[in-house]
């Protein structure tokens, strides 16, 4: 089934730049090769610079499919599907990596007061955003399903390495964090195979490693939430690490003039409604950037901004529906505005004078 969706494309780097929501700006003079496949319900691309062969790309994509096979809710015999089937009945043993990712998601859930909550599964299925069945559920249905949402009901046993969902009807969904994990794993594998430089782009989860020829930083364009795919409003410069965006533009439908997007507020059961159009997180590991980008989006501008500032190791670029851009303090000297319609709003950081 999955195979029919798999497209192999090997095209010039600049064409890929035009297609992807987060763009890498500026080609190197080395001759990179990009391979793109459809995994995790999105286009995943890998760029390598030298020493590659088809085997190198195939190896990474096959590892990506292995991860998808364990963690996807749309694959009926995945570990996550097994956990969901046994909700309220029994604890299910899972692989080390699935256990790691669920533990990681629960850690972020605790830190963000449940803004990231992988138990949103029943709501994700009902809304079905991004599929042909997408619809606005009745208020009653949402209230019914909200009873099954609550990450406290996900019980982990680290000794037995099992996951138990306390109540029948509960369902976990790792869609907010699995692509980031997979991107990190792709980098790990490529480094192990001796690659010293590359770019991973898994549906807007970007990780770069190794330095460019002239040692200049990587320049990563950030998608304009309201613009066409491939248009960016600014560039983040990083030496290495991950840049991950969550936004209202990724998957959505419009009904009666209202936009319903795929980032759900686990408190209300509806797509998170606040002033934001996108959040981009910059940090070392894509798994963190992915989890935090979804969580911080749900927290909204004010709370999300304070949360990111309270942590030393992550930074963020916020874009509001009014196209104002807010940068956390660690990113101000690494961000280059590239579209005058997206002005940077200065944040007062020093002691107040009034």
> How far is the C-alpha of 160 from the C-alpha of 113, rounded, in Å?
27
Residue 266 sits in the site that holds ligand AMP (CB under 6 A): yes
CA-to-CA separations, 137 to 63, 204, 249, 251, 253, in angstroms, rounded: 36, 28, 21, 17, 13
Identified binder of ligand AMP from the candidate list 32, 175, 241, 304, rule CB under 6 A: 175
| Interacting span for ligand AMP (CB under 6 A) from 9-17, 173-181, 209-217, 281-289 | 173-181
Own/partner contacts of 67-72, CB < 8 Å, gap of 24 or more, are: 67/97, 67/178, 67/181, 67/182, 67/185, 68/39, 68/40, 68/178, 68/182, 70/94, 70/95, 70/97, 70/98, 71/98, 71/101, 71/174, 71/178, 72/40, 72/174, 72/178
Q: How far apart are CA 346 and CA 344, in angstroms?
A: 6
By a kind-dependent CB cut-off of 5 to 8 A, residue 250 interacts, out of Mg ion, ligand AMP, none, with: ligand AMP
Q: Scanning residues 310 to 349, which ones bind ligand AMP (CB under 6 A)?
A: none
CA distance 126 to 121: 9
> How far apart are CB 97 and ligand AMP at their closest, in Å?
18
Q: Which of 176, 235, 238, 316 binds Mg ion (CB under 5 A)?
A: 176
From 105-113, 139-147, 220-228, 287-295, span contacting Mg ion (CB under 5 A): 287-295
Whose Cβ is closer to Mg ion: residue 36's or residue 245's?
245
Q: Does 285 participate in binding ligand AMP (rule CB under 6 A)?
A: no
Q: Pick the closest to residue 118 from 161, 82, 85, 71 (CA basis).
A: 71
Give the one entry of ligand AMP, Mg ion, none that residue 264 binds, where binding means its C-beta sits below a cut-off of 5 to 8 angstroms depending on kind: ligand AMP
- Rounded to a whole number of angstroms, the minimum distance from the CB of residue 250 to ligand AMP is 6
Residue 83 interface partner, choices Mg ion, ligand AMP, none, CB cut-off 5-8 Å depending on type: none
| 290 belongs to the binding site for Mg ion (CB under 5 A) | yes
Work out how close the CB of 189 gets to ligand AMP at its nearest, in angstroms, rounded to a whole number.
22
Is 298 a binding residue for ligand AMP by CB under 6 A? The answer is yes
Q: Counting contacts by CB under 6 A, is residue 262 touching ligand AMP?
A: yes
Q: Which stretch binds ligand AMP (CB under 6 A): 24-32, 155-163, 261-269, 301-309?
A: 261-269
Q: Which two tokens stand for residue 211?
A: 């330095």
**Are 208 and 240 a contacting pair, CB within 8 Å?**
yes
- Given a contact cutoff of 8 angstroms between Cβ atoms, the answer to whether 281 and 314 are in contact is yes
Report the chain's terminal Cα–Cα distance, integer Å: 64
User: What one-character-per-residue DSSP string does 147-211 give?
Assistant: TT--GGGEEEETTTTEEEESSTT-----TTTHHHHHHHHHHHHHHHTT---EEEEETTEEEEES-
Residues 241-260 contacting ligand AMP, CB under 6 A: 246, 250
What residues between 91 and 150 interact with ligand AMP by CB under 6 A?
116-118, 120, 124
Query: Based on CB atoms, which residue is closest to Mg ion, 23 or 263?
Result: 263
Partner in contact with 173, chosen from Mg ion, ligand AMP, none, beta carbon below 5 to 8 Å by kind = ligand AMP
283 is a contact residue toward ligand AMP (CB under 6 A)? no
CA 274, CA 206: separation in Å to the nearest integer? 25
**Residue 118: which of ligand AMP, Mg ion, none does it interact with, CB under 5 to 8 A by kind?**
ligand AMP
Indicate the residue among 122 and 291 with the shorter CB distance to Mg ion. Answer: 291
The least CB distance from residue 182 to Mg ion, in Å, is 12
Q: Residue 47, interface with Mg ion (CB under 5 A)?
A: no
Query: 82, 234 in Cβ contact below 8 A?
Result: no
For ligand AMP, the nearest residue by Cβ is 175
Residues in touch with ligand AMP (CB under 6 A): 116-118, 120, 124, 173, 175-176, 246, 250, 262-264, 266, 290, 293-294, 298
């Amino acid at each position: 089934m999955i195979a029919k969706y798999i497209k192999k494309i090997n095209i010039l780097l600049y064409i890929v730049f035009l297609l992807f929501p987060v763009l890498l700006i500026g080609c190197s003079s080395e001759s990179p090769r990009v391979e793109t496949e459809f995994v995790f319900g999105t286009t995943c691309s890998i760029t390598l610079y030298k020493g590659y062969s088809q085997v190198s790309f195939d190896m990474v994509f096959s590892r990506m499919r292995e991860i998808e096979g364990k963690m996807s809710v749309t694959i009926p015999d995945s570990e996550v599907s097994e956990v969901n089937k046994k909700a309220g009945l029994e604890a299910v043993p899972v692989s080390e990596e699935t256990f790691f990712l669920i533990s990681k998601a629960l850690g972020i859930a605790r830190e963000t007061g449940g803004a990231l909550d992988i138990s949103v599964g029943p709501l994700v299925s009902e809304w079905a955003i991004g599929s042909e069945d997408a619809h606005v559920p009745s208020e009653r249905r949402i209230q019914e399903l909200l009873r099954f949402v609550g990450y406290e009901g996900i019980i982990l046993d680290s000794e037995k390495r099992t996951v138990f969902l306390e109540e029948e009807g509960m369902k976990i969904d790792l869609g907010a964090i699995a692509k980031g994990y997979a991107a990190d794993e792709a980098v790990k594998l490529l480094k192990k195979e001796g690659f010293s430089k590359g770019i991973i782009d898994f549906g807007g989860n970007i990780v770069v490693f190794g330095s460019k020829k002239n040692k200049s930083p990587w320049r990563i364009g950030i998608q304009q939430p309201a613009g066409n795919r491939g248009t960016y409003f600014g560039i983040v410069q990083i030496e290495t690490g991950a840049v991950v965006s969550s936004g209202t533009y990724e998957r959505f439908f419009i009904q009666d003039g209202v936009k319903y997007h795929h980032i759900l507020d686990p408190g209300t059961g509806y797509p998170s409604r606040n002033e934001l159009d996108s959040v981009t997180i910059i940090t070392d590991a894509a798994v963190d950037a992915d989890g935090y980008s979804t969580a911080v989006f749900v927290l909204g501008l004010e709370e999300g901004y304070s949360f990111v500032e309270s942590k030393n190791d992550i930074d963020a670029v916020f874009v509001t529906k009014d196209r104002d851009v807010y940068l956390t303090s660690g990113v101000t000297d690494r961000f280059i505005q590239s579209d005058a319609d997206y002005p940077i709003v200065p944040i007062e950081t020093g002691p107040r004078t009034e």
